[in-house]
């Protein structure tokens, strides 16, 4: 991972690929890389869809190595959804492929001329940029089918669906999984629209001729990784909950906690919750032909939280929908049908939109009366509207904030224009602090205080009280920023927060991979450095304390069943970045 690939779509004579040494970005990977490149090279006041924006794709520092669960890939840019800096990451196989080919980053830059669409092919012979107008407006699954005869099914593909081509602010970037399906998505912030604005439909990465990246200190690395895996297997969340039930194990937990946003964040508990549970979902996958409840989204994953979801006849429906997807299309829309949700998940992946943004936008549209709450068929039709780019689809595809603006509603559950995920900030106040203050717009993954508020991981902070939430969120945001640079899956956090020896083993894998002697303090310093760059970018882009707030109605309208409002003070919120 000592080189960077730049693809300049605005070059004289047509798109041009240049490979250069990693240079000033040495030692960065994942979110560390995407953030540093955007921070240094993208004017904060540029338009996200204009020629000055760049899309940075970067495998994590450990991707392509034998370290467990290290296959995350980050994309970064200025976000068309929020106007902030953005990093979104996914699993799938592309991080490992790019890393094994030696690329620390791929940077898409400049402005496409004309209407042509391009395919980029990367292998050990070099880089090709090919006109690919025959791929125009193909949804992701169809695209993969079309690529298969040309490239086989052992390559990795990074692609956009129709939403990205239409430059929708909810569009995602898909990454293929081990079954060569486009199921893993860098979902948030409209990153697909930036790829679309560059005129690039897909990047095919062929690392079949390459070997796994070798550690600097092989024996020590192996031992550290063994301890790390042991720790992951031993923790209740990463060793049992996630493998058995997937992330959707959270439905019952959040519903019980009264923090499950229902009917567009109207109440904190959904009567139909039991029909959406991870337990039921896992039963379906276990009992139905072709179903698979325990599955890794990339090779080398030991947590195996993903799965394959089939219908009763064994026909593939989608990958196992995540908790946030089950929630956004489920309780948030008053829908309690897991099969309908699997269909929605498939459509989201196929058209290439963020499942959270889409579900919340539909919830807002339901409150506006476009279709009634609970109407699963109607919701499916709405996602088709998005994928086809009808006028209604253009509204929803622009995200929840724009949907609320178009229909004149105050009830837009967003921060910095990005939809809130599956945890009501009134009943899980720590995550509310993260929503308000993260550099990314409302994002649970940026500082997952749910762990400590609800799951008692990494300590325990009462979710219903404002005390201690700012400090909790701060520490988690810092740790997450660092983790997002490594390529390790965020879910390892459950184990490393609770088990110091697992944290140390994780740090040791990095040290032995790179021949370093980092300590926990260095990890914290890396996280802080990333956050400070992101924060500075956002400040230049016009974001300040007034934007680090939840919409006022979360402080005004109490949430049943606990009848709580969001009451973490502005002063506390403004203290999050005191480091």
Residues at the interface with its own copies (CB under 8 A): 43-47, 49-50, 52, 80, 166-169, 193, 196-197, 390-392, 394-395, 397-398, 402, 405-410, 540-544, 546-547, 549, 551-553
DSSP annotation of 188: G
H or E segment and range at residue 287: helix 278-287
In angstroms, what is the minimal distance from the CB of 167 to its own copies?
3
Measure the CA–CA gap between 554 and 557, rounded to whole angstroms.
Answer: 6
Q: Is 501 exposed, middle or buried (0-12, 13-18, 19+ CB in 10 A)?
A: middle
User: Is the CB of 222 or the CB of 556 nearer to its own copies?
Assistant: 556
The CB-of-194 to its own copies minimum distance in angstroms stands at 10
| DSSP characters over 240-272 | IIHHHH-GGGHHHHHHHHT---BTTTTBS--GG
120/541 with CB nearer its own copies: 541
Secondary-structure percent of the chain, ordered helix, strand, coil, rounded to 5: 45, 15, 40
Q: Which is nearer to its own copies, 115 or 521 (CB)?
A: 115
Cβ at position 50, least distance to its own copies in Å: 5
DSSP E strand boundaries for 445-498:
none
Q: Minimum CB separation from its own copies for residue 108, in Å? A: 16
- Rounded to the nearest 10 degrees, the angle between the axes of helix 520-540 and helix 500-514 is 80
d(CA 53, CA 78): 6
Q: What is d(CA 400, CA 418) in angstroms, rounded to the nearest whole number?
A: 7
Closer residue to its own copies (CB): 323 or 537:
537
Sheet holding 85-90, edge to edge: 16-21, 3-8, 103-109, 55-59, 73-78, 85-90
User: Is residue 181 helix, strand or coil?
Assistant: coil
Nearer to its own copies, 62 or 370 (CB): 370
Nearest approach in angstroms of CB 449 to its own copies is 23
Pick 193 or 497: Cβ nearer its own copies: 193
Whether the Cβ atoms of residue 243 and residue 305 lie closer than 8 Å to each other: yes
Residue 354 CB, shortest distance to its own copies, in Å, is: 15
- Determine contact, residues 502/232, Cβ cutoff 8 Å: yes
What pairs with residue 86 in β-bridges?
A: 77
Q: How far is the CB of 550 from its own copies (least distance, A)?
A: 10
Q: How far apart are CA 489 and CA 486, in angstroms?
A: 9
- Answer for the pair 55, 158: CB distance below 8 angstroms, yes or no: no
Q: How far is the CB of 442 from its own copies (least distance, A)?
A: 16
* Beta carbon of residue 259, minimum distance to its own copies (angstroms, whole number): 23
Residues 6+ apart with CB under 8 A from 226: none
Do residues 207 and 179 touch, judged by C-beta distance below 8 A?
A: no
In 312-381, the DSSP E strands lie at 316-319
Residue 202, Cα to own-chain centre: how many angstroms? 18
Angle at alpha carbon of residue 186, lines to 469 and 461, rounded to 5°: 15
Q: How far apart are CA 481 and CA 33, in angstroms?
A: 11
Nearer to its own copies, 52 or 223 (CB): 52
Least distance (Å) between residue 437 CB and its own copies: 14
| Rounded least distance, CB 46 to its own copies, Å | 6
Residues near 101 by beta carbon (within 8 Å), at least 6 away in sequence: 122, 123, 124, 205, 207, 210
| Least distance to its own copies, CB of residue 224, Å | 45
């Amino acid at each position: 991972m000592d080189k960077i690939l730049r693809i300049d779509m605005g070059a004289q004579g047509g798109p041009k690929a240049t490979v250069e040494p990693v240079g000033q970005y040495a030692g960065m990977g994942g979110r560390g890389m995407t953030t540093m490149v955007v921070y240094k090279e993208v004017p904060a006041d540029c338009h996200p869809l204009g020629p000055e924006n760049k899309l940075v794709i970067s495998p994590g520092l450990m991707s392509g190595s034998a370290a467990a669960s290290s296959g995350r890939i980050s994309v970064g840019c200025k976000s068309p959804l929020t106007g902030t800096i953005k990093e979104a990451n996914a699993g799938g196989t592309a991080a490992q492929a790019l890393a094994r080919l030696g690329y620390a980053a791929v940077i898409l830059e400049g402005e496409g001329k004309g209407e042509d669409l391009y395919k980029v092919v990367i292998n050990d012979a070099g880089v090709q940029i090919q006109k690919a107008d025959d791929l125009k407006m193909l949804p992701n699954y169809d695209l993969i089918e079309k690529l298969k005869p040309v490239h086989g099914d052992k390559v990795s593909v990074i692609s956009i669906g129709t939403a990205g081509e239409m430059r929708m602010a909810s569009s995602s970037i898909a990454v293929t999984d081990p079954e060569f399906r486009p199921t893993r998505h860098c979902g948030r912030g409209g990153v697909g629209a930036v790829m679309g604005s560059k005129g690039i439909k897909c990047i095919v990465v062929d690392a079949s001729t390459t070997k796994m990246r070798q550690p600097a200190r092989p024996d020590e690395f192996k031992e550290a990784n063994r301890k790390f895996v042991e720790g992951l297997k031993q923790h209740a969340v990463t060793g049992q909950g996630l493998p058995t039930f997937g992330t959707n194990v959270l439905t019952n937990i959040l519903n019980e906690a009264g923090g499950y946003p229902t009917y567009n964040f109207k109440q904190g508990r959904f009567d139909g919750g039991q029909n959406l549970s991870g337990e039921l979902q896992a039963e379906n996958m276990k009992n139905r032909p072709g179903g698979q409840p325990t599955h890794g989204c990339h090779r080398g994953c030991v947590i195996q939280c993903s799965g394959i979801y089939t219908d009763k006849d064994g026909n593939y429906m989608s990958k196992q929908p995540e908790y946030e997807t089950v929630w956004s299309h489920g309780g948030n829309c008053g829908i309690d049908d897991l099969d309908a949700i699997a269909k929605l998940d498939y459509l989201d992946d196929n058209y290439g939109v963020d499942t959270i943004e889409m579900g919340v936008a539909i919830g807002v549209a339901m409150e506006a009366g476009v279709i009634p709450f609970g109407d699963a068929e109607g919701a499916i039709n709405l996602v088709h509207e998005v994928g086809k780019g009808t006028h209604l689809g253009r509204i929803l595809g622009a995200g929840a904030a724009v949907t609320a603006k178009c229909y004149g509603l105050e009830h837009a559950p967003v921060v910095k224009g990005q939809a809130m995920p599956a945890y009501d900030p009134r009943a899980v106040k720590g995550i509310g602090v993260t929503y308000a203050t993260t550099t990314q717009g409302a994002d649970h993954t940026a500082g997952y205080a749910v762990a400590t508020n609800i799951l008692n991981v990494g300590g325990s902070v009462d979710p219903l009280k404002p005390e201690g939430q700012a400090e909790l969120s701060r520490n988690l945001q810092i740790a997450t920023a660092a983790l997002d640079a490594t390529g390790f899956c965020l879910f390892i956090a459950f184990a490393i927060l609770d088990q110091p020896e697992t944290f140390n083993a994780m740090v040791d894998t990095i040290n032995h991979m790179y021949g370093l002697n980092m300590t926990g303090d260095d990890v914290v310093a890396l996280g802080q450095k990333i956050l400070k760059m992101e924060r500075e970018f956002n400040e230049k882009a016009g974001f300040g304390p007034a934007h680090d707030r939840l919409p006022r109605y979360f402080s005004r309208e109490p949430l049943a069943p606990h009848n709580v409002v969001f009451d973490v003070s502005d002063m506390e919120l403004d203290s999050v970045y005191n480091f």
